[in-house]
């Protein structure tokens, strides 16, 4: 897990060229008196992608390098990425670092060495040459939709990751990476000029040595979806021992039973399901601290529920309120993690009784207080061999590389919203077909997929659509949403699929798709490929794809489709070959498992 930088050429000082290109020559950055202009080579010419207003850039130095590292979770477990770094001095005494890769561009600023940088200056970025965009509104927990060509006005607060489309099938995804304890995260605001946005750090009361990386992933849609640029730019792993960090599938109570985690007997049902389906984890959600107050539980407490799981060979994870966001009226346990001494005591207790991970919920946004607190939670949890899943939290910004016990992050409008409002029912299919091009590009996403029955509000996606989400979406622990009796009543091939489902991938490839319409993604674990696709529209849709990019691809396949037979939900086939064209039902889907 140690970072390796292989210098390909020596440091070259005082270079004079104004144009910098990626190793493959497809991305060009031109340094001007106003800042940086970024373009992409297509059809023999340069197509403008964006410009960043950073005045006063002087000459500097550059080096070529290869970023090489391994991940424990994610879309690609072994990464080797060439790049070029340019270091510029600024007129105000600061330093600008620019990195150009084959799949994007990133820059970060460091302030004047002798002065405090509590208030980092905003940077304007111009994406006005884009023809379409998918930009979410900002919120504390990043739980928003990605509408195409959102109407916005000057001053509107907008969020990462945002996707922009250009002519000739070129796309750019704007996000951020490598937040440190002295940083606030940033977001952006619309300005008076359409397509020009102000990148603005959140509140920070302490001195910051430098900004995080502002990142734009650039290329065809496949380049965007397959990119590892957010983790490429993150600091290397901070832990010497990571052998205890194990990805896997979890049974999860909240989707079906909002208050079920205070009920010992309901928890037992989810543990028993995990045993039968051979899931490694069970998540005991909010209000477990009230278990001894429920008369039907008798004298049972959380320690008894954890012991029941451990005795069955299942690894329990438990929920905490971060107690910095939603507190009044929110569920508990509360105020157990805020002080370092309380956090140490609580995590030591978790480790002692057999808890293997914590889900920490309800943070309050991007400010430095939250960033520092979240990193300290990760560090303390690692001391006690605890996985961490942040909920009601900002999006991941490279931390799964730096702190690999961060096994997932919500930061998404996910399936739990079937509990809350009726809005999700009609919008879910299109939203589901947008997330692989936006939110899930930048890091693990705890969407909590796969429900064949209904929560408080119904869903109208098909069974095969729901099953496909488990492979379409990447999360180090995949929390499956449905109730035990639903999963256990599925055909045996579906149950076998869930039992064998990987949650960390050796390779990821986009095979077809366009946001909100359709998506087909292939992910490889060892010698097995999972090819999953969904229809994001309300009409029947023919989806075709090519598998020419897939190496080590066998022929024997199990195919999961929606049945066309009345009163049947599934069509499951085992074939010596597999189709590459599917006629999907409205909001339908498919999965192919190729041994």
| pLDDT for the residue 301 | 97
| Predicted confidence (pLDDT) at residue 3 exceeds the cutoff of 60 | no
Q: What tens digit of pLDDT does each residue of 506-515 get?
A: 999 999 999 9
| Predicted confidence (pLDDT) at residue 256 exceeds the cutoff of 90 | yes
| pLDDT for the residue 447 | 98
Residue 530: phi and psi, rounded to 5, are: -110, 115
3-state secondary structure of 472: helix
Q: What tens digit of pLDDT does each residue of 143-155 get?
A: 999 999 999 999 9
Q: Are 517 and 538 in contact (CB under 8 A)?
A: no
| pLDDT for the residue 111 | 81
Alpha-carbon torsion 429, 433, 434, 440, what sign? Answer: positive
Over residues 243-269, the mean pLDDT reads 97
| pLDDT for the residue 16 | 37
Residue 345: phi and psi, rounded to 5, are: -65, -45
Average pLDDT, the chain: 94
| Predicted confidence (pLDDT) at residue 113 exceeds the cutoff of 70 | no
CB atoms within 10 A of CB 219: 24
Band (9; pLDDT cuts 50, 70, 90): very low
Q: Are 105 and 213 in contact (CB under 8 A)?
A: no
Over residues 576-588, the mean pLDDT reads 96
| pLDDT for the residue 112 | 60
Q: How far is CA 122 from the centre of its chain?
A: 25
Q: What tens digit of pLDDT does each residue of 400-443 get?
A: 999 999 999 999 999 999 999 999 999 999 999 999 999 999 99
| pLDDT for the residue 552 | 83
- Which domains are present in the chain? 4-232 (2.70.98.10), 248-503 (3.20.20.70)
| Predicted confidence (pLDDT) at residue 220 exceeds the cutoff of 80 | yes
> How many residues can be counted in the chain?
595
DSSP codes of every residue in 36-69: EEEEEEETTEEEEEEEEE---EEEEEEEEEEEEE
| pLDDT for the residue 114 | 41
Q: What tens digit of pLDDT does each residue of 62-79 get?
A: 999 999 999 999 999 999
Lowest-confidence range among 53-67, 103-117, 164-178, 289-303? 103-117
Task: Report strand pairing: 281-284 vs 315-321.
Answer: parallel
| Predicted confidence (pLDDT) at residue 10 exceeds the cutoff of 50 | no
| pLDDT for the residue 118 | 52
| pLDDT for the residue 2 | 40
Q: Are 402 and 73 in contact (CB under 8 A)?
A: no
Nearest to 127, CA basis, from 160, 174, 61: 174
Over residues 386-397, the mean pLDDT reads 98
Over residues 89-94, the mean pLDDT reads 91
- To which residue do tokens 């693990």 refer? 444
| pLDDT for the residue 408 | 98
Q: Are 428 and 450 in contact (CB under 8 A)?
A: no
| Predicted confidence (pLDDT) at residue 524 exceeds the cutoff of 80 | yes
Q: What tens digit of pLDDT does each residue of 473-508 get?
A: 999 999 999 999 999 999 999 999 999 999 999 999
| Predicted confidence (pLDDT) at residue 7 exceeds the cutoff of 90 | no
Q: What tens digit of pLDDT does each residue of 533-573 get?
A: 999 999 999 999 999 999 889 989 999 999 999 889 999 99
Over residues 174-182, the mean pLDDT reads 98
């Amino acid at each position: 897990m140690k970072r390796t930088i292989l210098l390909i050429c020596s440091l070259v000082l005082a270079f004079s060229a104004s144009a910098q290109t990626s190793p493959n020559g497809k991305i060009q950055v031109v340094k001007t008196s106003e800042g940086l202009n970024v373009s992409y080579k297509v059809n023999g010419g340069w197509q403008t992608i964006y410009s960043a207003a950073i005045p006063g850039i002087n000459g500097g130095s550059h080096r070529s390098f290869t970023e090489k590292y391994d991940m424990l979770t994610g879309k690609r477990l072994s990464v080797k990425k060439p790049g070029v770094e340019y270091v510029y001095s600024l007129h105000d005494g600061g330093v600008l670092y620019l990195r150009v890769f084959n799949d994007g561009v990133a820059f970060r600023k460091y302030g004047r060495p002798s002065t405090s940088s509590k208030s980092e200056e905003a940077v304007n970025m111009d994406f006005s040459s884009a023809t379409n965009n998918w930009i979410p509104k900002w919120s504390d927990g990043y739980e928003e939709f990605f509408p195409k060509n959102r109407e916005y006005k000057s001053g509107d607060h907008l969020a990462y990751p945002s996707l922009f489309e250009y002519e000739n099938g070129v796309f750019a995804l704007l996000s951020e990476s490598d937040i440190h304890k002295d940083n606030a995260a940033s977001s952006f605001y619309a300005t008076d000029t359409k397509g020009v946005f102000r990148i603005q750090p959140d509140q920070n009361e302490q001195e910051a040595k430098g900004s995080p990386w502002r990142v734009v992933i650039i290329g065809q849609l496949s380049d965007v979806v397959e990119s590892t640029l957010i983790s490429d730019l993150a600091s290397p792993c901070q832990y010497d021992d990571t052998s205890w960090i194990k990805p896997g599938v979890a049974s999860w109570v909240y989707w079906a039973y909002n208050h079920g985690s205070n009920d010992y007997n309901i928890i037992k049902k989810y543990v028993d399901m995990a045993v039968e389906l051979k899931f490694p984890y069970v998540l005991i959600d909010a209000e477990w601290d009230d278990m001894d107050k429920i008369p039907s539980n008798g004298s049972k407490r959380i320690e008894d529920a954890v012991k029941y799981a451990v005795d069955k060979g299942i690894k329990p994870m438990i929920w905490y309120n971060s107690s910095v966001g939603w507190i009044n009226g929110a569920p508990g346990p509360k105020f157990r993690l805020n002080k370092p001494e309380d956090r140490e005591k609580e995590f030591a207790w978790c480790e002692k009784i057999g808890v293997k991970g914590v889900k920490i919920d309800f943070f309050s946004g991007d400010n430095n207080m939250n960033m520092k607190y979240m990193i300290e939670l990760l560090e303390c949890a690692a001391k006690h061999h605890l996985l961490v899943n942040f909920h009601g939290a900002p999006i991941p910004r490279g931390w799964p590389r730096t702190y690999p016990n961060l096994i997932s992050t919500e930061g998404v409008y996910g399936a739990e919203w079937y509990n809350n409002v009726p809005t999700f029912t009609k919008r879910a299919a299109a939203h589901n077909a947008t997330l692989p091009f936006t939110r899930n590009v930048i890091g693990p996403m705890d969407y909590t997929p796969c429900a064949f029955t209904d929560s408080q509000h119904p869903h109208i996606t098909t069974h095969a659509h729901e099953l496909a989400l488990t492979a379409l979406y990447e999360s180090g622990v995949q929390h499956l949403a449905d109730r035990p009796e639903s999963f256990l009543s599925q055909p045996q091939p579906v149950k076998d699929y869930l039992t064998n489902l990987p949650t960390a991938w050796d390779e990821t490839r986009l095979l077809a798709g366009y946001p909100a319409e359709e998506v087909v993604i292939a992910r490889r674990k060892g010698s097995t490929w999972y090819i999953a696709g969904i229809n994001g529209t309300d009409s029947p849709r023919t989806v075709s794809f090519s598998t020419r990019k897939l190496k080590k691809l066998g022929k024997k396949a199990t195919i999961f489709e929606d049945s066309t037979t009345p009163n049947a939900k599934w069509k499951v086939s085992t074939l010596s070959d597999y189709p590459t064209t599917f006629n999907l039902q409205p909001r339908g889907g498919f999965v192919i498992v190729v041994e």
